[in-house]
């Protein structure tokens, strides 16, 4: 059990993983939320986790987001979720906010890609790649497929840049389960800007991971300054995988958010 400041009323959390990962990444955090009486759905996005599609079957970011969009569309009228996006999963959350704002009571960006309404959706990705040091991705493999850049995160990159504060077992799990992925930059660049009426109407919370070496705190703060959320929370000592290295602290943050909605 987690002693937090959550609501006594049961909430439905939908957890969205980052690029190249899957619902497995939430295996420590999901039980903590469930132990407090909440419903938890951890998603595998298209061509991710244990889903059967290959990345070559996915042509757009909307295709990649389809399992999440289908879930939200299937919710009964009046039912809402707390949508939690990690890393690139923040962009999936943003797409969902634009499509189904009435079904999302709060959107949580866990060191997540958080775009703004006033600029193209791809701007935040372009800023990240423009400011990233040349050696950031270490042994990550890059290629081209369907006119998009494809990446397969390397074991050294995962250990040193993504999950440096995680246990050796969790690092090995991440290395073993990594799948090729794409940020679909070309497609996202051609997608209309997010709207204040839809995306902008959903309550947003950003959780800063203070020891993130992939999306460093400086970049996280830049996203926050560009598009201030309602609330900013912090997790000290959290690398880019807080659900693995700081699951209790992350769960407490999410429970506090439930208390407010």
Secondary structure tally for the chain: helices H, strands E: 10, 8
pLDDT digits (tens, 9 = 90+) for 19-47: 999 999 999 999 999 999 999 999 999 99
* Between residues 145 and 157, the one the model is more confident about: 157
> What is the C-alpha to C-alpha distance for residues 194 and 97, in angstroms, rounded to an integer?
9
Please tell me which residue in 25, 187, 240, 251 is annotated as part of the active site. Answer: 240
- Tell me what the mean pLDDT of segment 146-173 comes to: 96
Say whether 212 is catalytic. Answer: yes
Has 201 been annotated as catalytic? no
User: In angstroms, rounded to a whole number, what is the distance separating the alpha carbons of residues 200 and 107?
Assistant: 11
Annotation marks residue 240 as catalytic: yes
List the structure tokens of 27.
């295996």
- The answer for residues whose C-beta is within 8 angstroms of residue 61's C-beta and 6 or more apart is 91, 92, 95, 184, 187, 188, 191
Confidence of residue 3 (pLDDT cuts 50, 70, 90): low
Task: Specify the pLDDT at position 6.
Answer: 47
Listed range (33-47, 174-188, 247-261) with the worst mean pLDDT: 247-261
């Amino acid at each position: 059990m987690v002693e937090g400041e959550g609501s006594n009323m049961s909430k439905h959390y939908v957890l969205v993983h980052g690029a190249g990962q899957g619902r497995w990444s939430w295996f420590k955090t999901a039980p903590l939320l469930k132990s407090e009486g909440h419903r938890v759905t951890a998603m595998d996005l298209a061509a991710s986790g244990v889903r059967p599609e290959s990345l070559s079957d996915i042509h757009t970011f909307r295709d990649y987001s389809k399992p999440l969009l289908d879930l939200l569309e299937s919710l009964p009228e009046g039912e809402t979720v707390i949508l939690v996006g990690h890393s690139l999963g923040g962009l999936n959350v943003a797409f969902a906010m634009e499509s189904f704002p009435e079904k999302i009571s709060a959107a949580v960006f866990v060191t997540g890609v958080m775009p703004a309404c006033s600029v193209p959706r791809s701007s935040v990705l372009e800023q990240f790649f423009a400011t990233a040091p040349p050696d950031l991705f270490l042994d990550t493999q890059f290629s081209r497929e369907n006119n998009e850049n494809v990446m397969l995160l390397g074991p050294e990159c995962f250990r040193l840049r993504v999950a440096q504060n995680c246990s050796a077992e969790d690092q090995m799990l991440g290395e073993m389960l990594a799948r090729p992925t794409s940020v679909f930059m070309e497609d996202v660049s051609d997608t209309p800007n997010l709207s204040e009426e839809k995306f902008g109407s959903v309550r947003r919370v950003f959780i800063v991971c203070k020891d993130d070496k992939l999306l460093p705190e400086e970049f996280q703060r830049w996203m926050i300054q560009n598009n201030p959320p309602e609330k900013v929370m912090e997790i000290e000592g959290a690398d880019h995988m807080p659900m693995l290295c700081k699951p209790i602290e992350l769960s407490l943050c999410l429970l506090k958010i439930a208390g407010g909605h």
